[in-house]
Structure 1
C-alpha cells in the first residue's frame, strides 16, 4: 500500500517510477536501469535498506546516485548507520506526502549540481595534468611521474630510464603548413608514440639481459608531452643502457615513417637524448638536464639519432661554459676582430662589396672557430652584444678607410636567426644605428630558415629593415626552403648561392641546380652572389648564366680591413676570366 502511495505521489510530480520487491531485486533494477534517484525503506525483505545502500555505493555506476531512506525508527543509531552506508538523506514515518515530492525534486537538483561540480573538478584536474591537444600527461604530470619512478627505483635498487624526444625542424614544418595542421601532426606523433610503446612492451624480454635482473612485469613505458614539439618516455626498470638505446632506435624508426595529413605527406625525424638513474643522477632535475644535454648532442651530430648521456657530454658542457665566460670577457676587452671577404663584379672585375666575418682568439692566443662560439653566444644570450659589437666595428673600419674603399661598395653582416626572431630586434638595431654615422651601404645576410620560421612576422621586420636603409640578402640560398611563393613576398635585394652548389659545377646536377637558382633570382628581380668560387671556369660559367658577382678564394680569403682596402685598388678582370677589353 505504501509503495502505491509513493508511486502516485512521485508520478504526480512528473517522475517515472520503477519498483522492486526486495533488496536483491533493487540491486538488479539499479544495475539494469541506472536510475537518477533511489528511494527505499530500511526494513526490506532479503537484505535491509542499509545493506542495499552499502552495496550500491560499492558500484561505480551508482556511487553518486542520490539515495533517500525511510525509517520507522526515529533513533540516532539507525540514522547514523544509514549515513555510514552511503545514504544521501533520510525521512521518518509517517510520511508527509505533500512534502515528499518536493524533497525528491530538491535532492535531484542537488545531485545535478554535484555532478556539474564534479565534472568541472574532473575537467580542472585534466587541464592540470594532461595536454589538451594529445591527451598525454603534461609537464606537471610528467615531472610527478618521473619523481615517483625515481623514488620507487631507489627503494627497490632498480633503474629508471628517461628518453627525451625533440622533433627536428618542427617550427619550420609548423610555419610552412600552418599551426592547425601542425597541431594535427603533433597529435599523430603522440598516437604513433603510444603505438610504439605498445609494441615495445611485449618484446622487452628479447633485449639482452632482460631476464637477468627484473621480472618482465616490472618493465613499463610512460609517455608524456612536456610541451611544444618535445615528448618524453619514462622507462620503468630498464635492463641497462643497451636496452634504452634499442628502445630509442625503435622510436626513431616509428616516428620517421611518413605522416599523412590532408594535403601533405610529411617525413619528420626525432633527435633523442637518453639518461638513466641512478648512473646519471637520482633527482628529476639532474636526469632532465642530462637527457636534454644528450638530445642537444644528438642534434649537433646530425639529428635523427639517439645519444646516451656520457662524460664527453659533461665535458662539452664545461667547455661551453668556458667559451661563454671567455667570449663575455672579450666583448669588454680585446680578442675579437673582423676580417672581410671581397665580392667582385663578374662584368667589370671590380670589388663591389665585402662580407664581414668575426674572429676570436682567447687570452691564451688560441683561435676559436665561429662554429664553436656563435652557437654558444646564441644559447647564452650574448648574441645581441656580439651583433652590436660587429656593427660598431664595421662602421669604425669603414670610417677609418673611407678614402680607400669604393664609395658604392656594400659591407655585409651576418644575422643570427636568434637575433632576427627576437621581438625587439628592429627596435634594438634602430637604437644602435642612432649612435653611428654609417657612410656605406650595409647588407644584412640572413638564412632562409631564419625568415621562414616567423612567416608573416618576418615580412614586417624585413620591410622595417629596408626602411632603415639596409640591403637584405639570403645567405646559403638553396639549402633551406627555396620557396618561390615565400620569397616573392619578402623585400629582398640579393640571393647568395651556397658554396656546395658552386663546388658541384661541372656535374649535370650541379649545373641544373645553379641554373634553377639563377632563373629564380631573375624572375624575382634579385641580384646574385655566388659563394666559394675557386676557379676561373666556375666564374665564367656563372657569368654566362647571369650571376653578376662572386666571392671566394679565387679572389681572396677573408682579410683584415687594411688588406681589403689594398685589394680594392686591384683589377680582377683577368682573374675571373674576362679579356682586358671586356666590361
Structure 2
C-alpha cells in the first residue's frame, strides 16, 4: 500500500478561514495554504495535492477561475476540489458542480463537519490511488502471463464452460496444426484429435473430462495427437477445471507436450536395460522375469521348468592373455552356437561375463534338460577360429528344476550356480544337476557364513598361536597367528571351510583386521611379560590388493602401541602375482612401517626369482610339502637344500613349516635353516596355553 502522506491545499483570501480549516484537517494530511489567489495555480502545479479546498469569492482570482484552470490541465484535472460556500449560495453551488467540484464546506465553518468531509474525500482519493496501482499490476501480470504462455515449451489451450477454445499458445498451434484464428471459437475436441497409440481409437478430451469431474486429470498413457495435417506425435498432458468462488465451472485449461522422443528413448532404454549389449541376448534381469512368468504358468503336478547355467571354462585366462577384443569375439561365437543348440523355443540369456543361462519350459520343444545340456557341451567342443588361430573351449553346466529342487526363480538361479560349480570341480566339460548333497552343502555354507558374521560382529574370533623355534638354540622366539571359528557350543569350524568363504563373501577384510588386532594385543601382552616374541600374521591376496591396507595396518599398530619390529606379515606367492605394481607399492608401504614381510609356502606358487628380488621380503617360509618328504625322498631334500641356499644368497631369513620328526629338525639345522615350526616342537595352542607355557618359562619341548 502507498504510505505517502497526503496533501491538502487551501486557497482562501480570509486568513481566519484558513486557520479554521487548517485546524480541522492538519491531523489528516500535510496542509499547504495560500491567501493570494493569483499564486494558487502555481502552488498547485508544484505540489499536486490530493485535495484542493477553494473559496469561491476572492478579489484577485475567483475560485471558479482556479477550478477551470485545474480541470483544463491534464496533469491536475483528477485532483478533487471542495468549495467553501454559504448555506444560501445554491446558485454558486450549481456552477461549482458544473465546473467539476465534488463537495462543499458551508460557512460558517463547522470544524468537525469540515474534518469528516475532508477525511472521506482523502480516503476516496487514497482508494482510487490504490485501485490504480492494482489495475496496473493486473495489467502487468496479464501481459507477463501472456508472454509466459506464449513462450512456454508446452502446449496450452484454454476453453470456456462449453469446451470452446478461448486461448491457444504457439506450441499448441504447432502440435495441433491450427492457428489462433482457426482454433478460437471451435470445440476443443475438434482442435485436439486424441487417439489410443495402439488401437487408434478416439479418446475423450481431458479438457472436457476435467470440467465433468471438477478436478485435475491427466491424459491416459499411450496417447497420440493427430494434427490437422495428419502428423502424429505422442503426448502427455494434464487438465484442470477453472472454477469461480462458488465452485461453478467457468472453463478449463489443458497443458500438453510432445513426448515422442522420450517414448522412443524409453523403448530403447528398456531394451538396453533388459538385453546384453554385446550379444543382444536377454540379460539377468529379463531372464529373472521370464523364470517368474514360467513358474507362474506351470502346472506343478505335470510339468517342470529347467534352468541351465552355462559357464565357459578358463575364459578369464584366455581373455587376459589374448585381450578383450578376442574375448568378445569368442563370446559372440559361443552365444551363436548356444542359440542353435538350445533351440528357438528356449530362452537363452547372457547373465555374466562368461556365463549364459538357458530357460526351458513345458511349452518348449520336446528336448529334455540333459539333452539340451549335451547339445551345448558338444557345440563348444568345436574349435573357434579367430584371426587365423584356433581356440579350444569347453563348458561347465549346472541344472536346476522347478518344482523338483527349487521353489522360486531366486532358488533356481542359486541352485543352477551351485550345480555348475560342482561340474567344474569334478573335471569341467560336463553338466551336473542340483542334488540333495549339494543342498546340504549349501545349507552348511549358509550356516558357516552366519557363524562367521556373528563372530565378526561380536569380535569373538579365536586366535591360536603356533610357536616358532630357533633351531640352533632350541628356543621359542615367536609364533604364527592361526584363526579359529568356534561357536557358542564349542564346535570348531575348520579354517579351510570358513577362510575361502570369507574371501568369496568379502568378509576377509574384516576377518584379517580382527586377527591383526588380536595378534598385536598379544604382542603387547608378551612385552608386558618381558618377552619380545615376533608374531606372524597371515595376509590374504584380497587384503594386499587393497591400496589402503598399509594405512589400516599402521592404524592398528598405533592403536595397540606395539613395536612394529615385533610384527610379521605372511603373504603367499599367488598374492604377489595379482598385480605387480600395485602389490609392490603396498609391500613397500608396509615395509616402511618397520615390520617384517614373509613369503609363505615358498616353492608351491608361480612367482619368478626376478619378481622375488623386487619385493621387500625379509623371510622365506619353506612349504610343509617339501619338509614332509625330505626324510624319504632325495628330490625333496634337494629342493629344501636349494631353497635354504637361495634364502642365504638373497640375505633372507629361512623358516621351515610342518616339522614333525626329530630327523627333520636336525637335518634343517645342519642345512642352515635358522627357524622352524611344527608338531614335533609344539602344535598350535590357545592364547592362555601359550601364556602359561612360554611366558611363564615352563619347559619348551613336549
Normalised-by-shorter TM-score class? 0.5 to 0.7
Aligned to 1:538: 664
Does structure 1 retain, via aligned residues, the 8 Å contact 2:622–2:657?
yes
Aligned to 2:323: 181
CA distance in 1, matches of 2:663, 2:383: 42
Does structure 2 retain, via aligned residues, the 8 Å contact 1:185–1:261?
no
Aligned to 1:396: 521
Unpaired runs of at least 5, structure 1: 1-82, 85-113, 202-216, 576-583
SS in 1 for 2:474: coil
SS in 1 for 2:490: coil
Aligned to 2:309: 164
Does structure 1 retain, via aligned residues, the 8 Å contact 2:657–2:678?
yes
Larger relative CO (CA 8 A, sep 6+): 1 or 2? 1
Matched, 1:437 2:561: yes
**TM-score normalised over the length of structure 2:** 0.51
Does structure 2 retain, via aligned residues, the 8 Å contact 1:133–1:183?
no
SS in 2 for 1:555: coil
Aligned to 1:285: 410
Once the two structures are superposed, residues 443-494 of structure 1 have per-residue CA deviations (whole angstroms, 9 ceiling, x without a partner) of 1223333343344322222222222233222323344323345444433223
* Number of equivalences: 443
* Cα gap change, 1:532 to 1:141, in 2 (>3 Å): same
Post-superposition shift, 1:363?
Answer: 1.4
Aligned to 1:499: 624
Aligned to 1:228: 353
Does structure 2 retain, via aligned residues, the 8 Å contact 1:142–1:224?
yes
SS in 2 for 1:227: coil
Aligned with 1:528 (options 630, 649, 654)? 654
Aligned to 2:333: 191
CA distance in 1, matches of 2:294, 2:537: 50
Alignment of 1:237-386 (within 5 A): 244=369, 248=373, 272-281=397-406, 283-296=408-421, 306-331=431-456, 336-386=461-511
CA distance in 2, matches of 1:484, 1:238: 60
CA distance in 2, matches of 1:301, 1:343: 38
Matched, 1:471 2:596: yes
Post-superposition shift, 1:412?
Answer: 1.0
Does structure 2 retain, via aligned residues, the 8 Å contact 1:171–1:453?
no
Aligned to 1:139: 284
* Cα gap change, 1:517 to 1:248, in 2 (>3 Å): farther
Alignment of 1:115-154 (within 5 A): 128=273, 130-133=275-278, 137-143=282-288, 146=291, 150=295
SS in 1 for 2:488: coil
CA distance in 2, matches of 1:537, 1:503: 11
SS in 1 for 2:466: strand
| Aligned alpha-carbon RMSD (Å) | 4.9
SS in 1 for 2:560: coil
Does structure 2 retain, via aligned residues, the 8 Å contact 1:168–1:270?
yes
Once the two structures are superposed, residues 366-400 of structure 1 have per-residue CA deviations (whole angstroms, 9 ceiling, x without a partner) of 22222233344445554444333322222222222
Post-superposition shift, 1:147?
Answer: 5.0
CA distance in 2, matches of 1:513, 1:269: 36
Once the two structures are superposed, residues 296-352 of structure 1 have per-residue CA deviations (whole angstroms, 9 ceiling, x without a partner) of 556677877654223444444443443344444444658543221122344443433
Does structure 2 retain, via aligned residues, the 8 Å contact 1:477–1:497?
yes
Unpaired runs of at least 5, structure 2: 1-229, 232-259
Post-superposition shift, 1:261?
Answer: 8.7
CA distance in 2, matches of 1:502, 1:304: 36
Once the two structures are superposed, residues 134-185 of structure 1 have per-residue CA deviations (whole angstroms, 9 ceiling, x without a partner) of 665543454455456556665996433222245667667766x4xx625634
Alignment of 1:3-152 (within 5 A): 128=273, 130-133=275-278, 137-143=282-288, 146=291, 150=295
Query: Considering only CA atoms, is the larger Rg found in Structure 1 or Structure 2?
Result: 2
Does structure 2 retain, via aligned residues, the 8 Å contact 1:238–1:244?
no
Aligned to 2:684: 558
Between Structure 1 and Structure 2, which shows a larger proportion of strand residues? 2
Aligned with 1:416 (options 540, 543, 555)? 540
CA distance in 1, matches of 2:606, 2:386: 20
Aligned to 1:67: none
Post-superposition shift, 1:357?
Answer: 0.8
Once the two structures are superposed, residues 70-91 of structure 1 have per-residue CA deviations (whole angstroms, 9 ceiling, x without a partner) of xxxxxxxxxxxxx99xxxxxxx
Matched, 1:480 2:622: no
**TM-score normalised over the length of structure 1:** 0.60
* Cα gap change, 1:525 to 1:161, in 2 (>3 Å): farther
CA distance in 2, matches of 1:445, 1:437: 21
